[in-house]
Amino acid sequence: MLRDTILDFVENRITTHDLEEWFVPRLPALIRYPDSADADVISAIELGLTELDLGIRTRENFINFLKQVLREHSVVITYLPASPITVNQTGSSNETSRQWPIGVYSANIIRASSVAVQ
């Protein structure tokens, strides 16, 4: 997945060469959906790799740039359980009600992608 590979790069698990080797052959599939949530991330990788190649950016600067891009385009995941839970409410009536709890989780860098590319 796109963000998994970027995360591997920013965490120094793969080299710049490895990132390019993964990214370039998949570029036609990645840009197939220009209005996707990944479009800006893909553009940032293209720009960053070009600037790195031209000596405009250092590897460290490119990594920081990609971290910022991932922060700006992070994914929020909402989980709903299969059935509602029972919540005992305190108060004068001591009522019991059924609620659908919603957990919203986000992270600066998250392993998720709206475009699945193998």
Q: What is the pLDDT of residue 17?
A: 94
pLDDT averaged over every residue in the chain: 73
Q: What is the pLDDT of residue 110?
A: 39
Residues 6+ apart with CB under 8 A from 104: 76, 77, 78
Element housing 104 (H / E) = strand 103-105
Question: Which residues are bridge partners to 79 per DSSP?
Answer: 103
Q: What is the pLDDT of residue 51?
A: 96
Segment 75-82 mean pLDDT: 51
pLDDT tens by residue, 3-54? 889 989 999 999 999 999 998 888 888 778 878 778 888 889 999 999 999 9
pTM beyond 0.95 = no
